[in-house]
Amino acid sequence: MNGIMPLRSNAESWAAVVRDNTEYPDTPYWNKWRSVISPLIDEAIKAGYDKLFRAGKSMHHILLSTIDHHGLREEPRVTLAVADNWKIHIHYSTANMYFGSAIQSQLVQPVEAFPVLTRYLQHLWTETVPEPIPEVLRKHDSKEIQ
């Protein structure tokens, strides 16, 4: 191949991330990592977010965006990362988290992550898509978790 990833549908991009996560080694660290991040990814897919956003990876960060091409540059994105304390870092930024700072960031327990992720994805949608927030994103809104 010429180094350019083939364009995948949004749902296919999420499926590729799920597959990639299962290919990490069968070690205590990676098994714990999967046990932290996989339920959040599964819940987002079940909610239908895989129809609205593209998913990808940068090392072991999961990136969610509204772009229609492979390879983020300075486009807004939501990044999910598992922290050393097994919490989930949710970032809104325009840069790779290794090289730039987040515009907004929260460190949350895995059980608290879905409503926070939803709010970050709502923000991403309003910043990047000239259409109203889809019902699938609005129905999972939860204002009580900051």
The three-class DSSP label of residue 55 is strand
Q: What is the pLDDT of residues 41-96, one digit of tens each?
A: 999 999 999 999 999 888 888 999 997 756 666 788 999 999 999 999 999 988 77
Res. 2: pLDDT tops 60: no
Helix (H) or strand (E) segment spanning residue 125: helix 113-128
Q: What are phi and psi of 113, to 5 degrees?
A: -75, -35
> Is 103:92 a contact under the CB 8 Å cutoff?
yes
What average pLDDT does the chain have? 86
pLDDT value for 143: 47
CA–CA separation, 58 and 28 (whole Å): 22
Res. 145: pLDDT tops 50: no
pLDDT value for 59: 81
pTM of the full predicted structure? 0.87
CA–CA separation, 37 and 52 (whole Å): 19
